Structures are given as C-alpha cells and as structure tokens.
Amino acid sequence: MNRARTWRLRGFTLVELLVVISILCLLLAMLSPTLSRAKRYTRKVVCQGQFHQIGVAFTHFAGEHEGLLPGTYSWVGPAEWQKSWMGKEVWYTVNYYGTICSYVGGPAVAKRLYRCPDLAQGVWNTGVGSNGRFDYSMFLSMAGARMTSVPAMARYQDPGTKEWREAATPVVVEEDPTFYLNYVNIEPGHSNVDRMGNWHVGNSCNYLARDISGHSLYPSALGPNSHEWQVLAPSGATVTLQHVSKGFGEWNTR
C-alpha cells in the first residue's frame, strides 16, 4: 500500500523578506545613476537628431534660394524669403512665420523641434533653464551665407583651458540660458558674448554643423562664444564667427 507524501510549504520569515527587500533596494541604488545617465544620453541623441532635421530644412531652403542659408534675428534682407529662419511660431516679437517653418513641417512641428528635450523650462528672463519657446540660435555671421562658402571645419578656443581644438563649423547652436537664451536679449541670433549651452551629459554642447549633422563639443568649462571660434572666410582670411556688420549675406564678402 503506497503512502501519500505530504509536502509542507514553508513561507518566508520576516527576516528573510527584509533581506530580499534590502538586496533589491541596494541593486536599484546601484543601477539608478546608470539609468539616469542612459536617459540623459538618450535625450542628447534626440537633440542631435533635431539639429539634423533643421539642417535638412536649411539644405532644402538653400536649394530653392540661390544656395543661401536663411536669415536670423535682425540679420535679414528685403525679400520675404530673406527673413529670419525662426518666426512667430515660437518667437513672438515678429509677425511672420520663420522661413524654414514649412520645410520642417509647419508651426506645430517647429514648436517641438526648436526645444531641446534635455533642458527643463525655467522662469522667463531669469537666466536659468529654457525660455520655454526655443533653445537654438543661429550665428548672425551665417545669416544669408552661401552654403558652399562655409568651410567644413573650424577651431575654437576652450574657455577653460584656452587650448585650441578643431571641430566641425557651427551654424546653429544651443545657447547658454545665462548668455543669453533666457536672459535680457532673448532672440534666435547668436553673436558677441552669447555662449553655447553645455547642459548635456558630460557637460557637452550640441549644435548643427555645416555638414547638416548634429555634433557635440566637450569644453572643459563654459561653451565658447563667437569670438572664440576661428574659421577660413571666403576671402581666404582667418576670421572669428563674430559678425562684422548688420546685414543678410555679410559672410559672402568677408
């Protein structure tokens, strides 16, 4: 006669349960910085992709307008197509849509595209965080520039170490909220002491380069300003990216 076996299941004791919970908490604590960094890196890559989309729009614009880049801020020409690349879709001080608005897919797309996913919105005109409307600015010296006359490579002087470093020539950059994305002179033009923003992982700066791709800089301190960039002008002279006159197409005569 077979005797049925009786199995007795033993539950966790309180001590064992607390040990398991402690181990899980420890693992989560160890993984948290890694997960946070991975999320920030993802946002950085998304931002670079947005720059590429803007670059594609610039290329299509140039293809239909004499090979020229669009205008920006007050560096505009008399024709409608020579106005600022960014307009009332996000920049409310003008009464027209930006000249590349239709190339990026319209105002609704532009509102998303011109905001970096890695910069939290701040309070307007405080120098902290995004101004909530746009985070990207175009070099004034590049307004109306002939794309083929802008060299692929430039160099910048690191604001911290003062060393010169080679990099792809910037056209549109993320601007530091204090200098002056969200402080005093809030507009989509980049010049003078405006600095590139470095809020991404590794204190890096994203930007749109001449090759229409999103690139990154890794300065040791703050991002460089327009005086700290040097590039070969159409005349063959080495110049900074600071503008020298107020007008659409100034680059083409430098």
10 Å CB burial of residue 150 (0-12, 13-18, 19+) is buried
187 within some domain: yes
Return the closest-CA partner of residue 186 out of 117, 90, 107, 100. 90
The predicted pLDDT at position 17 comes to: 67
**Distance in angstroms (rounded) separating the CA atoms of residues 155 and 4:** 84
Strands 189-190 and 136-139: parallel
Instruction: Please provide the distance, in angstroms rounded to a whole number, between the alpha carbons at the two ends of the chain.
Output: 105
Domain tally for the chain? 1
Q: What is the pLDDT of residues 112-148, one digit of tens each?
A: 999 999 999 999 999 999 999 999 999 999 999 999 9
Q: How confident is the model at residue 35 (pLDDT cuts 50, 70, 90)?
A: low
Band of pLDDT at residue 40, cut at 50, 70 and 90: confident
Whole-number pLDDT of residue 151: 98
Whole-number Å distance between alpha carbons of 34 and 134: 29
Is 11 domain-assigned?
no
What gap in Å lies between CA 111 and CA 89, rounded to an integer? 7
Is 174 part of a structural domain of the chain? Answer: yes
Query: What was the pLDDT predicted at 7?
Result: 46
Q: Is the peptide bond before 92 cis (omega within 30 degrees of 0)?
A: no
Say what the pLDDT of residue 25 is.
Answer: 73
State residue 21's pLDDT score. Answer: 72
Range of the domain at 158: 38-253
235 lies in some domain: yes
Q: Which amino acid is at 86?
A: M
Is residue 15 in a domain? Answer: no
Q: Would 20 be classed as within a structural domain?
A: no
Q: What would the pLDDT profile of 201-224 be if each residue is shown by its tens digit?
A: 999 999 999 999 999 999 999 999
pTM of the model: 0.87
* Average of per-residue pLDDT values in the chain: 92
Averaged pLDDT, 96-100: 98
Residue 4, in any domain of the structure:
no
In angstroms, rounded to a whole number, what is the distance separating the alpha carbons of residues 201 and 98?
30
Half-sphere exposure (Cβ direction) of 145: Cα atoms closer than 13 Å? 25
Return d(Cα 79, Cα 34) in angstroms, integer: 51
In a domain, 19, yes or no: no
What is the band of 227 on the pLDDT scale with cuts at 50, 70, 90?
very high
| % of the chain surpassing 90 pLDDT | 81
Please compute Rg for the chain using Cα positions.
Answer: 25
